[in-house]
Structure 1
Amino acid sequence: MKWIDITQPLNSRIGHWPGDVPFSSGLKLTKEQTGSVNIGNMSMSLHTGTHADAPFHFSDTGSTIDELDIHIFIGPARVIDLSGETEISRAALEKHSLEGTERLLIKTAVPNRPENFPETIVPVLPDAGPLLKEKGIFLIGVDVPSVDPLDSKEMESHHALYENGIHILENLMLDTVEIGDYELIALPLPITGGDGSPVRAVIRKLGGGKGEQ
C-alpha cells in the first residue's frame, strides 16, 4: 500500500495563529554566490502547519519535545470521521469503535483549506480525555490548529489530555482520507527545549476492517 501524506504544505500562503510568526523561506545564498551550492533558510512558529505539541507548550513542568519517546508518533492509528459533530466529546467518541488502537486521528474539517486559518473549529472537550485513556489511546491527532476552542486561555482540553497521558498532533490533512486503520509516522524534530515541532505526517492503510461500527 502507498503512503498518504497528511501534512499541510509549508509555503507563504499557509495560515498561522494571529500574531504568531508566519512561515517564510527562501535562498540565503545562491550557487552563484557560494560557487558550489544553494543554501536556504526558513522562519516559522513551531505551531504553524502540521505539528506535535509538547506538554511544555501549556505546562511549565511538562516535557519538552526532545524528551518525548519517538514511538508515540510511530505505529497503528485509526481514522474516524466526526465532521458531522459540533464537538469531540465523550458522547461523540462513543459512537465509534475505539477498541484495538493506541492512536486516534479525527476528521472534522471537510474540506480542509490550510491557507485559511479557521474562524471556528470542532474542539475536543475535556471529558474525552478519560475515555481515551480507558480505551488505551495515548495519541490524538486533529485536523485543526488546536484541540481547544481557538479563543481558549485555560487550555482545558490540552490539560485534560495531558493528565490522561495523551499526546497531541494538530493540523493534519484528513479531509480526503477514508475512515479505517492505518500505520502512522509523524516524527517531531528533536528541538532541545522545544514546546512543539513540525512533523511530516504520513499514513498507510492496514488490512482488515474500517474500525467503525
Structure 2
Amino acid sequence: MSTPTTLVDLSHPLDPERMSIPPDLPQLSCCPIATVSKDGFSMHTVSLGSHTGTHVDAPSHFIADGKTIDQIPLSALVGPAIVLDLTSKGAKEVITWADIEKSPHADQIKAGVILLLHTGWSKHWASPGHIYWEHPYLSTDIAEKLIARGVNVIGVDFASPDESQFEPPWKFPFHRSFLGLGGFIVENLTNLEQLKGPGVMVNLLPINLVGSDGAPVRGLAWK
C-alpha cells in the first residue's frame, strides 16, 4: 500500500476557547488535574457531549433500536469519497436532490462511496452570534435516494443536515430518515475545499464509545 503524500485534517480542533456548541448542550471542558512541576506528570480531565465538534451520528441518535457508535462497522467510515461543491448555497437555503444531480461528480455517487458536501460553511466555525447555526440544510428525499444508491455515509461541513433548532417540537426529518435507513452522518467537517478531483480517500472513524449515540472523530483525507 502506498503512503499518502499529503494528509488533510477534516476535524475542527477541540478548543474550549474556540468552539461552536449550542448553549444548552454540554460545553467542552479540558482541565489539568496533575502537572509535571507539581506531580511529576501531566494529566487532564475531559468533559464533552457526544456530539461535540466534528463527530459521527450513530442511528441510535434518533432511532430507539438503532446501532450505537461501537456497532458501526469500521469499513463503513473508511474508503473512497466524493466531494460535491455546493458553495453557491446561502444561509438557511435548502439543498435538493436536483442540486446533487447537477454536480459533475454525480455519476460517481454509488455503493461504497462516502459523500461529502462542501458548502464552505466551516469558515463560520466559532464565529460570534448565530451565523454558524444558519447553515444550509438538506431536503429529506436526499436520504432515501442516497440509501437506494448504496451510499450509507454522508458528511457535511456545517452543524447538521437538518435546520438547526434549539427548542421543541424536535423535528430533524433528514436525521430520522437517513439514520432510520441505517445510514451514518458526519457533522462539522472542515477543509473540504482542499479535496478536489478524483481519488480522495477518507478515514472518519469516531472514538469507540460503547453504547453512545455519537462520538468525536479526527477525520483525515488523502490521495
Q: TM-score, normalised by structure 1?
A: 0.88
Residue matched to 2:115: 104
Matches of 2:31 and 2:80 in 1, distance apart? 36
* Corresponding residue for residue 193 of structure 2: 176
Determine whether 1:153 maps to 2:177.
no
Checking the alignment, whether the CA contact within 8 Å between 2:122 and 2:190 is kept in structure 1 is no
What is the CA deviation profile of residues 9-31 of structure 1, one whole-angstrom value per residue up to 9, with x for unaligned ones?
11021110230111121311112
Give the structure 2 partner of residue 189 of structure 1: 207
> How do 1:21-40 and structure 2 match up within 5 A?
21-35=26-40, 37-40=41-44
Whether contact under 8 Å (1:66, 1:194) holds in the other structure is: yes
1:50 corresponds to 2:54: yes
Structure 1 residue 137 displacement after superposition: 1.2
Amino acid in structure 2 at the alignment position of 1:20: L
RMSD between superposed Cα atoms in Å: 1.8
Does the 8 Å contact 2:32/2:44 carry over to 1? yes
Q: Aligned equivalents of 2:23 and 2:85: distance in 1?
A: 28
After superposition, the C-alpha distances for 1:155-212 in whole angstroms (9 at most, x for unaligned) are 110112124432100000035324333100111111111010000001012xxxxxxx
Whether the aligned pair in 2 keeps the contact of 1:17 and 1:48 (CA below 8 Å) is: no
Range moving further from structure 2, 98-107 or 60-69:
98-107
Q: Please list every run of 5 or more consecutive structure 2 residues that lacks an aligned counterpart in the other structure.
A: none
1:106: Cα distance to partner? 0.3
Equivalent residue for 1:66? 70
Q: For residues 110 and 145 of structure 1, do their structure 2 counterparts lie closer, same or farther at Cα, with a shift above 3 Å needed?
A: closer
Which amino acid letter does the alignment assign opposite residue 191 of structure 2? L
1:8 aligns with 2:29: no
Residue type of the alignment partner of 1:172:
L
Count of aligned residue pairs for this structure pair: 204
2:156 to 142, 145, 155: 142
Distance 1:112 1:70 in 2: 29
**2:98 alignment partner, one of 91, 95, 103:** 91
What is the identity, as a one-letter code, of the residue corresponding to 1:165?
G
**Matched residue SS, 1:193:** coil
The one-letter amino acid of 1:90's match is: W
Residue in structure 2 matching 1:76, options 58, 77, 80: 80
Percent of matched pairs sharing the same residue: 30
Deviation at 1:41, TM superposition (A): 1.8
Contact 1:77 1:103 in 2 (8 A): yes
Q: Distance in 1 between matches of 2:182 and 2:201?
A: 21
Moved more, 148-157 or 176-185: 176-185
**Unmatched segments (≥5 aa) in structure 1:** 206-213
Task: Pick closer, same or farther for the CA change 1:179–1:164 going to 2, 3 Å.
Answer: farther
**Cα deviations across residues 74-116 of structure 1 (Å, max 9, x unaligned)?**
1111111112132222111111233345100101134623213
Instruction: Tell me the secondary structure at the aligned position of residue 131 of structure 1.
Output: helix
Q: Name the amino acid aligned to 2:31.
A: G
**Which of 41, 45, 49 is 2:45 aligned to?**
41
Which deviates more from structure 2 when the two are superposed, residues 142-151 or residues 26-35?
Answer: 26-35
**How far apart, in 2, do the equivalents of 1:149 and 1:113 lie?**
16
